[in-house]
Protein backbone atom coordinates (compact mmCIF):
# COMPACT_ATOMS: atom_id res chain seq x y z
CA UNK A 1 0.00 0.00 0.00
CA UNK A 2 0.99 3.65 -0.37
CA UNK A 3 1.05 6.07 2.56
CA UNK A 4 2.22 9.63 3.20
CA UNK A 5 4.90 9.23 5.84
CA UNK A 6 6.40 12.00 7.98
CA UNK A 7 9.95 11.29 9.15
CA UNK A 8 10.67 14.82 10.36
CA UNK A 9 8.53 17.79 11.35
CA UNK A 10 8.33 20.76 9.01
CA UNK A 11 6.44 22.18 6.05
CA UNK A 12 4.05 20.30 3.75
CA UNK A 13 7.02 18.87 1.84
CA UNK A 14 7.90 16.53 4.75
CA UNK A 15 4.93 14.33 3.80
CA UNK A 16 6.44 11.82 1.39
CA UNK A 17 4.61 9.05 -0.44
CA UNK A 18 6.11 5.66 0.43
CA UNK A 19 5.33 2.07 -0.50
CA UNK A 20 4.62 0.02 2.65
CA UNK A 21 3.48 -3.57 3.27
CA UNK A 22 -0.26 -4.18 3.21
CA UNK A 23 -1.79 -4.23 6.69
CA UNK A 24 -2.54 -7.56 8.36
CA UNK A 25 -5.21 -7.41 11.09
CA UNK A 26 -4.69 -8.66 14.61
CA UNK A 27 -7.48 -10.62 16.34
CA UNK A 28 -9.59 -7.51 17.12
CA UNK A 29 -8.55 -5.32 14.18
CA UNK A 30 -10.30 -4.04 11.08
CA UNK A 31 -8.38 -3.05 7.92
CA UNK A 32 -10.08 -0.40 5.80
CA UNK A 33 -9.39 0.72 2.23
CA UNK A 34 -9.50 4.49 2.67
CA UNK A 35 -11.77 6.48 0.33
CA UNK A 36 -11.84 9.77 2.25
CA UNK A 37 -9.95 11.51 5.04
CA UNK A 38 -10.21 15.20 5.91
CA UNK A 39 -7.51 17.83 6.32
CA UNK A 40 -7.72 19.59 9.70
CA UNK A 41 -5.68 22.52 10.95
CA UNK A 42 -4.97 21.45 14.53
CA UNK A 43 -4.81 17.69 14.08
CA UNK A 44 -3.00 17.65 10.73
CA UNK A 45 -1.19 20.91 9.99
CA UNK A 46 -0.03 21.50 13.57
CA UNK A 47 0.96 17.85 14.08
CA UNK A 48 2.93 17.84 10.80
CA UNK A 49 4.79 21.03 11.73
CA UNK A 50 5.64 19.79 15.25
CA UNK A 51 3.52 22.44 16.96
CA UNK A 52 0.95 20.10 18.48
CA UNK A 53 1.20 20.29 22.25
CA UNK A 54 0.72 16.58 22.96
CA UNK A 55 3.61 15.48 20.76
CA UNK A 56 3.72 12.85 18.03
CA UNK A 57 6.29 10.04 17.65
CA UNK A 58 8.08 9.71 14.31
CA UNK A 59 7.79 8.27 11.73
CA UNK A 60 4.11 9.06 11.47
CA UNK A 61 1.08 9.00 9.16
CA UNK A 62 -1.54 11.74 9.60
CA UNK A 63 -5.32 11.42 9.16
CA UNK A 64 -7.79 11.38 12.03
CA UNK A 65 -11.10 10.57 10.36
CA UNK A 66 -10.91 8.05 7.49
CA UNK A 67 -13.93 6.46 5.84
CA UNK A 68 -13.85 3.58 3.41
CA UNK A 69 -14.52 -0.11 2.81
CA UNK A 70 -13.57 -3.00 5.10
CA UNK A 71 -11.08 -5.26 3.30
CA UNK A 72 -9.90 -7.53 6.16
CA UNK A 73 -10.91 -8.38 9.73
CA UNK A 74 -9.36 -10.32 12.59
CA UNK A 75 -10.93 -13.55 13.91
CA UNK A 76 -12.53 -11.84 16.94
CA UNK A 77 -14.26 -9.08 14.95
CA UNK A 78 -18.06 -9.24 15.00
CA UNK A 79 -19.12 -5.60 14.44
CA UNK A 80 -18.41 -5.47 10.70
CA UNK A 81 -17.63 -7.76 7.78
CA UNK A 82 -15.53 -7.43 4.65
CA UNK A 83 -17.30 -5.15 2.19
CA UNK A 84 -18.99 -2.92 4.78
CA UNK A 85 -18.84 0.84 4.23
CA UNK A 86 -17.55 2.42 7.43
CA UNK A 87 -16.28 5.50 9.22
CA UNK A 88 -13.77 5.59 12.05
CA UNK A 89 -13.80 7.48 15.33
CA UNK A 90 -10.32 8.86 16.00
CA UNK A 91 -10.28 8.45 19.78
CA UNK A 92 -9.19 4.90 20.59
CA UNK A 93 -9.95 4.36 24.28
CA UNK A 94 -8.58 1.73 26.64
CA UNK A 95 -12.04 0.40 27.53
CA UNK A 96 -10.96 -0.67 31.03
CA UNK A 97 -10.43 2.50 33.11
CA UNK A 98 -13.16 3.92 35.37
CA UNK A 99 -13.94 6.66 32.85
CA UNK A 100 -14.49 4.17 30.02
CA UNK A 101 -16.56 1.84 32.18
CA UNK A 102 -18.78 4.78 33.22
CA UNK A 103 -19.37 5.83 29.60
CA UNK A 104 -17.12 8.90 29.89
CA UNK A 105 -14.65 7.79 27.22
CA UNK A 106 -13.64 11.37 26.40
CA UNK A 107 -11.86 11.50 29.78
CA UNK A 108 -9.78 8.35 29.21
CA UNK A 109 -6.06 9.06 29.57
CA UNK A 110 -4.84 5.61 28.52
CA UNK A 111 -5.93 5.43 24.90
CA UNK A 112 -4.51 6.77 21.67
CA UNK A 113 -5.57 9.16 18.92
CA UNK A 114 -5.65 8.10 15.29
CA UNK A 115 -3.49 10.41 13.20
CA UNK A 116 -1.94 12.03 16.28
CA UNK A 117 -0.03 9.35 18.18
CA UNK A 118 -1.17 6.36 16.13
CA UNK A 119 -0.78 5.99 12.36
CA UNK A 120 -3.82 7.41 10.60
CA UNK A 121 -5.64 7.59 7.30
CA UNK A 122 -3.32 9.50 4.92
CA UNK A 123 -2.83 6.13 3.26
CA UNK A 124 -4.50 3.59 1.02
CA UNK A 125 -5.18 1.44 4.10
CA UNK A 126 -5.71 2.03 7.80
CA UNK A 127 -6.07 -0.45 10.66
CA UNK A 128 -8.04 0.16 13.86
CA UNK A 129 -9.72 -1.89 16.61
CA UNK A 130 -13.30 -2.82 15.82
CA UNK A 131 -14.72 -0.71 18.66
CA UNK A 132 -14.10 2.54 16.76
CA UNK A 133 -15.60 1.38 13.44
CA UNK A 134 -19.16 2.38 12.50
CA UNK A 135 -21.16 1.41 9.43
CA UNK A 136 -22.48 4.19 7.21
CA UNK A 137 -25.55 4.17 4.94
CA UNK A 138 -25.13 3.40 1.25
CA UNK A 139 -26.72 6.76 0.46
CA UNK A 140 -23.90 8.67 2.20
CA UNK A 141 -20.78 9.59 0.24
CA UNK A 142 -17.49 8.67 1.93
CA UNK A 143 -16.43 12.32 2.08
CA UNK A 144 -19.67 13.31 3.81
CA UNK A 145 -19.35 10.40 6.22
CA UNK A 146 -15.85 11.55 7.16
CA UNK A 147 -17.08 15.07 7.92
CA UNK A 148 -20.02 13.81 9.97
CA UNK A 149 -17.85 11.44 12.02
CA UNK A 150 -15.30 14.17 12.65
CA UNK A 151 -17.57 16.96 13.88
CA UNK A 152 -21.04 15.85 14.98
CA UNK A 153 -19.99 13.69 17.97
CA UNK A 154 -17.81 16.57 19.24
CA UNK A 155 -20.64 19.07 18.75
CA UNK A 156 -23.15 16.93 20.60
CA UNK A 157 -20.75 16.32 23.48
CA UNK A 158 -20.05 20.06 23.75
CA UNK A 159 -23.69 21.08 23.86
CA UNK A 160 -25.47 18.20 25.59
CA UNK A 161 -22.94 16.82 28.06
CA UNK A 162 -20.68 19.77 28.82
CA UNK A 163 -22.81 22.91 28.32
CA UNK A 164 -26.07 21.14 29.25
CA UNK A 165 -28.00 23.11 26.63
CA UNK A 166 -31.76 22.99 27.22
CA UNK A 167 -34.72 23.27 24.90
CA UNK A 168 -35.84 26.90 24.71
CA UNK A 169 -32.41 28.35 25.48
CA UNK A 170 -30.42 30.74 23.28
CA UNK A 171 -27.02 29.76 21.87
CA UNK A 172 -24.39 31.71 19.94
CA UNK A 173 -22.30 29.53 17.61
CA UNK A 174 -18.94 31.04 16.64
CA UNK A 175 -17.30 30.02 13.35
CA UNK A 176 -20.73 29.01 12.15
CA UNK A 177 -19.70 28.03 8.61
CA UNK A 178 -16.97 25.59 9.65
CA UNK A 179 -17.26 21.88 10.29
CA UNK A 180 -17.78 22.09 14.04
CA UNK A 181 -19.81 25.29 13.80
CA UNK A 182 -22.30 24.01 11.23
CA UNK A 183 -22.60 20.75 13.16
CA UNK A 184 -23.24 22.66 16.40
CA UNK A 185 -26.03 24.64 14.74
CA UNK A 186 -27.82 21.44 13.73
CA UNK A 187 -27.31 19.75 17.09
CA UNK A 188 -28.62 22.84 18.90
CA UNK A 189 -31.72 22.99 16.69
CA UNK A 190 -32.41 19.30 17.28
CA UNK A 191 -32.19 20.06 21.02
CA UNK A 192 -34.79 22.82 20.70
CA UNK A 193 -32.55 25.88 21.09
CA UNK A 194 -32.70 29.23 19.30
CA UNK A 195 -29.44 29.70 17.39
CA UNK A 196 -27.44 32.80 16.46
CA UNK A 197 -24.77 32.02 13.84
CA UNK A 198 -21.63 34.18 13.96
CA UNK A 199 -18.97 34.25 11.25
CA UNK A 200 -16.45 36.61 9.67
CA UNK A 201 -18.05 37.23 6.25
CA UNK A 202 -21.60 37.67 5.03
CA UNK A 203 -21.30 34.50 2.93
CA UNK A 204 -20.24 32.48 5.96
CA UNK A 205 -23.08 33.94 8.02
CA UNK A 206 -25.47 32.87 5.27
CA UNK A 207 -23.99 29.37 5.40
CA UNK A 208 -24.85 29.25 9.10
CA UNK A 209 -28.40 30.36 8.33
CA UNK A 210 -28.65 27.74 5.60
CA UNK A 211 -27.75 25.08 8.18
CA UNK A 212 -30.71 26.15 10.31
CA UNK A 213 -29.62 29.09 12.47
CA UNK A 214 -32.38 31.54 13.36
CA UNK A 215 -30.23 34.69 13.28
CA UNK A 216 -26.82 35.67 11.93
CA UNK A 217 -24.08 38.15 12.89
CA UNK A 218 -20.93 39.14 10.96
CA UNK A 219 -18.42 39.59 13.77
CA UNK A 220 -15.92 41.37 11.51
CA UNK A 221 -18.42 44.05 10.48
CA UNK A 222 -20.73 44.28 13.51
CA UNK A 223 -20.33 44.67 17.26
CA UNK A 224 -20.96 41.05 18.22
CA UNK A 225 -22.05 41.55 21.84
CA UNK A 226 -24.27 44.51 20.94
CA UNK A 227 -25.98 42.58 18.14
CA UNK A 228 -26.53 39.52 20.30
CA UNK A 229 -27.94 41.69 23.07
CA UNK A 230 -30.31 43.35 20.59
CA UNK A 231 -31.44 40.04 19.07
CA UNK A 232 -32.12 38.49 22.48
CA UNK A 233 -34.07 41.49 23.77
CA UNK A 234 -31.31 42.60 26.12
CA UNK A 235 -30.68 39.33 28.00
CA UNK A 236 -27.82 37.70 26.07
CA UNK A 237 -27.41 34.02 25.22
CA UNK A 238 -27.42 31.09 27.61
CA UNK A 239 -24.59 29.28 25.81
CA UNK A 240 -21.70 30.27 23.55
CA UNK A 241 -20.11 27.49 21.47
CA UNK A 242 -16.58 28.79 20.87
CA UNK A 243 -13.99 26.81 18.93
CA UNK A 244 -11.72 29.59 17.64
CA UNK A 245 -9.72 30.95 20.60
CA UNK A 246 -8.97 34.23 18.81
CA UNK A 247 -7.99 36.99 21.28
CA UNK A 248 -9.75 39.60 19.13
CA UNK A 249 -13.02 37.67 18.95
CA UNK A 250 -13.18 36.21 22.45
CA UNK A 251 -14.36 39.37 24.29
CA UNK A 252 -17.36 39.81 22.00
CA UNK A 253 -18.39 36.19 22.45
CA UNK A 254 -17.83 36.29 26.21
CA UNK A 255 -19.75 39.55 26.60
CA UNK A 256 -22.70 38.04 24.72
CA UNK A 257 -23.49 35.72 27.62
CA UNK A 258 -26.51 36.19 29.85
CA UNK A 259 -26.28 35.96 33.63
CA UNK A 260 -25.40 32.33 34.51
CA UNK A 261 -24.33 31.77 30.91
CA UNK A 262 -21.95 29.01 29.83
CA UNK A 263 -19.14 29.34 27.31
CA UNK A 264 -18.02 25.94 26.01
CA UNK A 265 -14.85 25.64 23.97
CA UNK A 266 -13.37 22.83 21.89
CA UNK A 267 -10.67 24.55 19.88
CA UNK A 268 -7.94 27.17 19.87
CA UNK A 269 -6.67 27.48 16.31
CA UNK A 270 -7.01 31.27 16.54
CA UNK A 271 -4.19 31.45 19.07
CA UNK A 272 -5.55 30.04 22.31
CA UNK A 273 -4.45 32.81 24.68
CA UNK A 274 -7.32 35.25 25.19
CA UNK A 275 -8.18 38.20 27.46
CA UNK A 276 -10.60 37.46 30.27
CA UNK A 277 -12.76 39.97 32.15
CA UNK A 278 -12.67 38.28 35.55
CA UNK A 279 -15.04 40.83 37.10
CA UNK A 280 -17.69 40.01 34.51
CA UNK A 281 -16.99 36.31 34.99
CA UNK A 282 -17.87 36.28 38.68
CA UNK A 283 -20.42 39.10 38.78
CA UNK A 284 -22.54 37.43 36.07
CA UNK A 285 -21.89 33.92 37.44
CA UNK A 286 -20.52 32.74 34.10
CA UNK A 287 -18.98 29.31 33.55
CA UNK A 288 -16.20 28.54 31.03
CA UNK A 289 -16.16 24.87 30.07
CA UNK A 290 -13.58 22.85 28.14
CA UNK A 291 -14.84 20.03 25.94
CA UNK A 292 -12.24 17.91 24.14
CA UNK A 293 -13.43 14.84 22.27
CA UNK A 294 -16.63 12.90 22.78
CA UNK A 295 -18.08 9.80 24.38
CA UNK A 296 -19.23 6.64 22.62
CA UNK A 297 -22.84 7.72 23.11
CA UNK A 298 -22.16 10.83 21.03
CA UNK A 299 -20.67 8.80 18.18
CA UNK A 300 -23.58 6.37 18.23
CA UNK A 301 -26.04 9.28 18.18
CA UNK A 302 -24.29 10.87 15.19
CA UNK A 303 -24.31 7.61 13.24
CA UNK A 304 -28.01 7.11 14.03
CA UNK A 305 -28.75 10.61 12.73
CA UNK A 306 -26.67 9.92 9.61
CA UNK A 307 -28.66 6.76 8.91
CA UNK A 308 -31.92 8.67 9.52
CA UNK A 309 -30.84 11.52 7.24
CA UNK A 310 -31.57 14.20 9.85
CA UNK A 311 -28.15 15.91 9.73
CA UNK A 312 -26.07 17.42 6.93
CA UNK A 313 -22.26 17.56 6.77
CA UNK A 314 -20.38 20.82 6.43
CA UNK A 315 -19.69 22.13 2.95
CA UNK A 316 -16.84 20.35 1.17
CA UNK A 317 -14.53 22.74 -0.67
CA UNK A 318 -12.84 20.07 -2.77
CA UNK A 319 -11.75 16.44 -2.89
CA UNK A 320 -8.10 15.90 -3.84
CA UNK A 321 -5.82 12.90 -4.49
CA UNK A 322 -3.64 11.75 -1.61
CA UNK A 323 -0.60 12.81 -3.67
CA UNK A 324 -1.76 16.43 -3.36
CA UNK A 325 -1.79 16.53 0.44
CA UNK A 326 1.03 19.10 0.39
CA UNK A 327 -1.14 21.42 -1.70
CA UNK A 328 -4.10 20.82 0.62
CA UNK A 329 -2.01 21.71 3.67
CA UNK A 330 -0.83 24.87 1.94
CA UNK A 331 -4.42 25.90 1.25
CA UNK A 332 -5.32 25.24 4.88
CA UNK A 333 -2.37 27.24 6.24
CA UNK A 334 -3.13 30.19 3.96
CA UNK A 335 -6.83 30.09 4.92
CA UNK A 336 -7.77 29.75 1.25
CA UNK A 337 -10.61 27.28 1.75
CA UNK A 338 -14.36 27.81 1.89
CA UNK A 339 -15.19 24.40 3.34
CA UNK A 340 -13.68 21.06 4.23
CA UNK A 341 -10.74 19.64 2.29
CA UNK A 342 -10.89 15.90 1.65
CA UNK A 343 -8.13 13.56 0.46
CA UNK A 344 -9.17 10.48 -1.52
CA UNK A 345 -6.41 7.84 -1.91
CA UNK A 346 -8.39 6.16 -4.71
CA UNK A 347 -7.96 9.21 -6.98
CA UNK A 348 -4.93 9.35 -9.25
CA UNK A 349 -2.96 12.57 -9.67
CA UNK A 350 -4.21 13.17 -13.21
CA UNK A 351 -7.85 13.00 -12.14
CA UNK A 352 -9.45 16.42 -11.59
CA UNK A 353 -10.34 17.52 -8.08
CA UNK A 354 -14.07 17.63 -7.41
pLDDT in tens, 107-117: 888 888 999 99
Packed helices 179-190 and 142-156: angle between N→C axes, nearest 10 degrees:
60
Q: pTM for this structure?
A: 0.89
- CA-to-CA distance for 100 and 108, rounded, in angstroms? 6
* 72 assigned to some structural domain: yes
> Do 183 and 57 fall into the same domain?
no
Task: Please identify, among 274, 290, 306, the residue that sits at the C-terminal boundary of a domain.
Answer: 290
Please give the residue range of the domain that contains residue 88: 2-151+295-344
Give pLDDT, residue 100.
Answer: 86
* 156 assigned to some structural domain: no
> Do 38 and 111 fall into the same domain?
yes
> Do 272 and 327 fall into the same domain?
no
> Do 74 and 178 fall into the same domain?
no
Task: Please identify, among 244, 272, 290, the residue that sits at the C-terminal boundary of a domain.
Answer: 290
**β-sheet with 237-242: strand ranges across:** 215-218, 194-199, 170-173, 237-242, 257-265, 287-290
> Do 205 and 178 fall into the same domain?
yes
Work out the pLDDT band at 352, boundaries 50, 70, 90.
very low
Between 71 and 271, whose confidence is greater? Answer: 71
> Do 284 and 299 fall into the same domain?
no
> Do 278 and 301 fall into the same domain?
no
* 55 assigned to some structural domain: yes
Alpha-carbon torsion, ordered 90, 212, 341, 198, to 10 deg: -100
Q: Is 17 left (phi over 0), alpha (psi -120 to 50) or beta?
A: beta
> Do 35 and 136 fall into the same domain?
yes
> Do 285 and 300 fall into the same domain?
no
Q: What are the pLDDT digits (tens) for 236-272?
A: 999 999 988 889 999 999 999 999 999 999 888 777 7
* 170 assigned to some structural domain: yes
* 159 assigned to some structural domain: no
Would the pLDDT of 351 be above 60? no
Task: List residues bridging with 125 in a β-sheet.
Answer: 33
Task: Please identify, among 244, 263, 290, the residue that sits at the C-terminal boundary of a domain.
Answer: 290
Strands 15-19 and 2-6: antiparallel
Give pLDDT, residue 221.
Answer: 95
Provide the mean pLDDT of the chain. 93
* 349 assigned to some structural domain: no
> Do 122 and 109 fall into the same domain?
yes
Quote the number of domains for the chain: 2
> Do 44 and 127 fall into the same domain?
yes
* 351 assigned to some structural domain: no
> Do 303 and 237 fall into the same domain?
no
Would the pLDDT of 53 be above 70? no
CATH of residue 105's domain is: 3.90.180.10
How confident is the model over 4-13, as a mean pLDDT?
Answer: 97
Give pLDDT, residue 311.
Answer: 94
* 117 assigned to some structural domain: yes
Amino acid sequence: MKALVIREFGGPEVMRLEELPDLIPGPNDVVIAVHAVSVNFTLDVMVRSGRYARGTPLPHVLGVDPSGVVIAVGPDVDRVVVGDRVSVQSGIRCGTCDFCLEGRQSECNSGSSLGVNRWGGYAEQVMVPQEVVYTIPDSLEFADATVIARHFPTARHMLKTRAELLSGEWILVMGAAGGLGSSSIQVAKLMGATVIAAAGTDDRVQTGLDFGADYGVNYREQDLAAEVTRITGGRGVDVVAENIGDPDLWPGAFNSLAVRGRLVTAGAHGGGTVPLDVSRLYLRRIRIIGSPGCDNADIEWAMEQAHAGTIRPAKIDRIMPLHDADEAHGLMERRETSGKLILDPTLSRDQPTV
